[in-house]
Amino acid sequence: MFWRTRDREKQSSKENVDASTAAGHSEQTVADILPQPPKLLHYGLPLQVRCLASDPLHGTVAVGCLHGEVKLFARSGAEVLLGPQHHSPVLHLVFAPLCGKLVVVHSPNNVCTWALHPIPTLDTAVPLPQTLTSELITVACLAPLSSIVLFGTDKGSVRAYDAESSHFSPWSLRSSSGSASTASALCALEPNPTLSQRLLVGERSGRLRVFDAD
C-alpha cells in the first residue's frame, strides 16, 4: 500500500548513508541523512469535511472535503492528500478493495477513480453519461465481492459503474413507478451480502423497494 513508500525511502536513505560512509565521505548534513517524505505526504485536514469512507480490507479511511481534496489516513498512521481534480465539493467516496481503487464523486456529477497501489495515482476522471446529466447522485455503495459501484440519483434511478474498467453500465433500475419528474430521490442502497443480485432501495419519501438485478 501507499504508506509503505515511507519505509522504502527510509531503507533507501540508510543504504545511501552507509555507502557514502564506506567510500570515505564523512561530511554530511542533516538533510543528507534524513529520509525525504513522499511527495503526497500531508498532515492535518483540508477545509470542511463533507463525507467519509473506510476500506475494511486495508484499514484506510478517506475524507472528502469542500474544495475537492481527498485525505487518506492509513492504518499505520501515514496521511496522504489527493489533490482536487475538480474544485468542487466531494459528495461521495467508495472504496473498491478488490481492484485497489477509490471512487470519488464531485459536485455536481463528476466521477474520479484513483488507483491506490503502489502509491495513489489518478486513474480516470469522467463526467456522467449524457443519459444522467439531468440527474444528481444522492447515494453510492459497493456491490458485494465486486468492483461495481452503484449510484442512486434524485430521479429514483440506480446506475452501475465498474471501478476496475472505469465504465458505466448501459442498464439502469428505476425505483419509482411514476415519471422521472415525480420520482422520489434515493437515500439508501443496500445489496444483499449473500445474494448479490438482490438490492434494497430506500427513497426519501419513506418507501422501500427490493429489486432482483438479474
Q: What percent of the chain has pLDDT over 90?
A: 37
Instruction: Give pLDDT, residue 162.
Output: 94
Residue recorded with cell 465498474 = 162
Instruction: Give pLDDT, residue 20.
Output: 46
- Cα 69 vs. chain centroid, distance in angstroms? 11
- Cα 116 vs. chain centroid, distance in angstroms? 9
Q: Classify burial at 199, counting beta carbons within 10 Å of its beta carbon; exposed 0-12, middle 13-18, buried 19 or more.
A: buried
Residues of the chain with pLDDT under 50: 1-39
Residue 20, C-alpha cell as written in the block: 557514502
**What confidence tens digit (pLDDT) does each residue in 136-159 have?**
899 999 998 899 999 999 989 899
Q: What is the DSSP letter of 3?
A: G
Instruction: Give pLDDT, residue 85.
Output: 83
Instruction: Give pLDDT, residue 189.
Output: 93
Can you give the pTM of this predicted structure?
A: 0.74
Instruction: Give pLDDT, residue 24.
Output: 46
> How far is 137 from 55, CA to CA, in rounded Å?
21
> How far is 114 from 81, CA to CA, in rounded Å?
12
Instruction: Give pLDDT, residue 77.
Output: 84
What does R_g of the chain's alpha carbons equal in angstroms?
21
Instruction: Give pLDDT, residue 177.
Output: 56
